[in-house]
C-alpha cells in the first residue's frame, strides 16, 4: 500500500512534525508511519505532545489520531478517529 496520508503531531505550543503514513479508511487503522520532517536534535528536545491527526492526501480530510486502545472512548462520543 502506498502512503495515502500525512500523520501530524503538534508539540510545545504549535511545532508540527509531519510523517507520511498509510491509513485504512475501512478499519480506521494507521500503519507504516514514515520518517518525520525534523532533525534529531529538535525531536529530542520536544516535551509536550498537544495533538495528533492525519490528513488524507486525496481529499485533505483531517481526523484525530489516537492510540488504538483509546479509539472506543472517542467513538462513544461520536468522533471519527484513526488509531495507531
Determine the Cα–Cα distance for residues 62 and 7; give it in Å rounded to an integer.
10
43 phi, psi to nearest 5 deg: -60, -40
Looking at the DSSP bridge assignments, the partners of residue 36 are: 19
Determine the Cα–Cα distance for residues 19 and 42; give it in Å rounded to an integer.
15
Give yes or no for a contact between 30 and 7, defined as CB atoms under 8 angstroms apart. yes
pLDDT of residue 39: 83
**Residue 19 scores a pLDDT above 80:** yes
Pick 2 or 52 by higher pLDDT.
52
Q: What's the domain range around 53?
A: 5-83
pLDDT of residue 1: 66
Q: What is the pTM of this model?
A: 0.89
Number of domains comprising the chain: 1
Task: Write out pLDDT tens, residues 26-83.
Answer: 999 999 888 888 888 888 889 999 999 999 999 999 999 999 999 999 999 999 999 9
**Residue 24 scores a pLDDT above 70:** yes
Amino acid at each position: 500500500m502506498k502512503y495515502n496520508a500525512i500523520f501530524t503531531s503538534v508539540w510545545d505550543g504549535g511545532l508540527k512534525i509531519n510523517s507520511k503514513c498509510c491509513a485504512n479508511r475501512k478499519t480506521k487503522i494507521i500503519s507504516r508511519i514514515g520518517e518525520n520532517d525534523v532533525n534529531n536534535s529538535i525531536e529530542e528536545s520536544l516535551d509536550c505532545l498537544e495533538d495528533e491527526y492525519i490528513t488524507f492526501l486525496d481529499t485533505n480530510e483531517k481526523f484525530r489520531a489516537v492510540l488504538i486502545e483509546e479509539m472506543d472512548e472517542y467513538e462513544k462520543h461520536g468522533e471519527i478517529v484513526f488509531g495507531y
